[in-house]
Structure 1
Amino acid sequence: MAILVAGTAGVAGWRWWHNRPPYGPEVLSARATLQLVDQATADAALEPVSAIVAGAGDQIFLGRVAWTRPPHPQPGGSLRIVLLDKRSHLAPSFIAVTSARPGSVNAGWDGSLEIAGRRYPWLRGVGVREVNGSLWSSAGAVCVWSVDASPVTFQTVLHPARPGTPPELLVPAAPKAVEDLLIALISVGPDGQVYWAQRLLH
């Protein structure tokens, strides 16, 4: 019995240590902006990266997230930046991104977003969703691999709704106001563990 108790306590202690944030969101003092822009503005803001080209009836959203570098960054830690429609709980599939260190950011999706979506109800939609018995995710996010990447600039284009779009491919549709969208910052550990998520733009 003593061995079992010790083993259980050891597992619990490891889990606590493994999931303990190296710092809280207050250390980063992150801030975000989001605005509707024209193609020329997006092109200039994303250089040297190519911006997504908008078509007739599309909306171009340009976002920027900046933070203060923590005094003791965690080796292997990273951040995710999420743009989410608050009403539909859908996230755009395609994002163009650059930063102070362009090689330290990319657009994509990983399991940390699924964890965050389950843990925080207001982030529902960034993870996978079940459609007709299968799991799907069309959501995209900004993956930040270095705390030295601040500021990060990203762009997405929303298209008018297309009737007949399969439910597994649904994304936010134009028209949208800036107030319809939120930006969140997610802190992720070296093993994909989610430390915390913070709403930067409500």
Structure 2
Amino acid sequence: MRRRRRIQAGLTVLVLVLGTSGFAGWRWWHNRAPYGPEVLALTATLELVDNEGAAAALGAEPAPHADVGDQLVLGRVSWRPPAELRRGATFWIVVLDKRTQLKPTVFGLASPRQDAVSMGSHGYLQKAADRYPWLRGIAGQEVDGVWTTSGTSIHVTTPDATPVTFVGIFPDARRQPAEPLIATAPVAVSDLLVAFVYMGPDGQLYWAHRLLG
């Protein structure tokens, strides 16, 4: 009887060990990036443009309009579509003013897959801020004890949406609150950071890559 109990206890421990190792293996696979940024051969450019330049760059897509004191920044991010795809994974293109860690609020967007690009934000992006200190403004900021996100990033849902052309507007700081929640003008290209973030289908952060700034 005692021998049988010892065998049963041993089998229970073995099952627990196998279950724990199996979960650890699944978790490792689940959070492992299928490829790194080097596979995508990422490139990015930024320049200041006027209203005419913004409209020309976006073609048939609507462009934000700059009034006196506002500034428009034209950017392009391109990559090589990967051979290996993970269903439900997405890219984020992030623009931050390094001086304030604030994001622009409005973008005009153009892509060969227009249906796959949009403006937005998500709480999952806080994982990027936690892992990469230079992205600490990506998910918003705390104001009077309340967490808020006023700026936006660019969400890309398919890897063949390359290149993405965008025009961000930076409104005149004189027309904003004393402590604005969005990136404002005057701004120089050298003030801006552009990053590319790769996230899994369950919001797991694979990696973030700094492209400019």
TM-score with structure 1 length normalisation? 0.93
Once the two structures are TM-superposed, the CA of residue 170 in structure 1 deviates from its matched residue by: 1.3
8 Å CA contact 2:151–2:181 kept in 1: the answer is no
Identity %: 49
1:65 corresponds to: 77
* Equivalent residues in 2 for 1:104-123, closer than 5 Å: 104-123=116-135
- Tell me how far apart the structure 1 counterparts of residues 24 and 164 of structure 2 sit (CA, whole Å): 37
Q: 1:63 to 1:56 in 2, by over 3 A?
A: same
* 1:90 aligned partner, one-letter code: L
* Equivalent residues in 2 for 1:32-111, closer than 5 Å: 32-111=44-123
Paired residue for 1:185, among 161, 171, 196? 196
Mark the structure with the bigger radius of gyration.
2
* Equivalent residues in 2 for 1:159-198, closer than 5 Å: 159-162=171-174, 165=177, 167=179, 170-198=181-209
Deviations 1:82-126 (A, max 9, x none): 000112111112112111111111111113322211221000111
1:200 corresponds to: 211
**Unaligned stretches of 5+ residues in structure 2:** 1-11
- Tell me how far apart the structure 1 counterparts of residues 54 and 149 of structure 2 sit (CA, whole Å): 26
Aligned residues: 201
Paired residue for 2:146, among 131, 134, 139? 134
Give 3-state SS (helix, strand or coil) of 2:160's partner: helix
Deviations 1:159-199 (A, max 9, x none): 121477275x5111211110000100001111111100000
2:7 corresponds to: none
- Aligned-residue CA RMSD (Å): 1.7
Give 3-state SS (helix, strand or coil) of 1:50's partner: coil
Q: 1:10 to 1:166 in 2, by over 3 A?
A: farther
8 Å CA contact 1:84–1:90 kept in 2: the answer is yes
- Tell me how far apart the structure 2 counterparts of residues 153 and 163 of structure 1 sit (CA, whole Å): 27
- Tell me how far apart the structure 2 counterparts of residues 8 and 89 of structure 1 sit (CA, whole Å): 41
1:27 corresponds to: 39
- Tell me how far apart the structure 1 counterparts of residues 198 and 178 of structure 2 sit (CA, whole Å): 32
